[in-house]
Amino acid sequence: MNVDLTAAKWFKSSRSHGGGECVEAAHLSKGCVGVRDSKLGNASPILVFDGAAWDSFTAAVRAGAFDRTASGQQSVCSARASSVAESL
């Protein structure tokens, strides 16, 4: 999938607390969403999802699909994914 990233406006969730474990997201052309590691900024690899895939992911986050680890604790990834999904 070729998507122009030059105009991407990257953002972190308002729930991000600057702990260095965050991702950034950007709305891209063709209805796509880009995700990158905030620690690496412009040097980060970028994952690009089409709109349907991103919608499925954010719906799963909101439904709690990633809420608990095997030990019953909320994972850091789950918390970060939830905050990014709520920002979009």
Mind giving me the DSSP string for 28-44? -GGG-EEEEETTTGGGS
Q: Where are the domains of the chain?
A: 23-87
pLDDT band at 12 (very low <50, low <70, confident <90, very high): confident
pLDDT, one tens digit per residue, over 13-64 is: 776 666 666 889 999 988 999 999 888 988 999 999 999 999 998 899 888 8
Residue 14 is encoded by which pair of tokens? 């308002």
> Does an H or E element contain 81, and which?
helix 76-87
- pLDDT of amino acid 2: 79
- Condensed to tens digits (0 to 9), the pLDDT of residues 56-79 reads 988 998 888 888 666 655 555 555
pTM of the model: 0.67
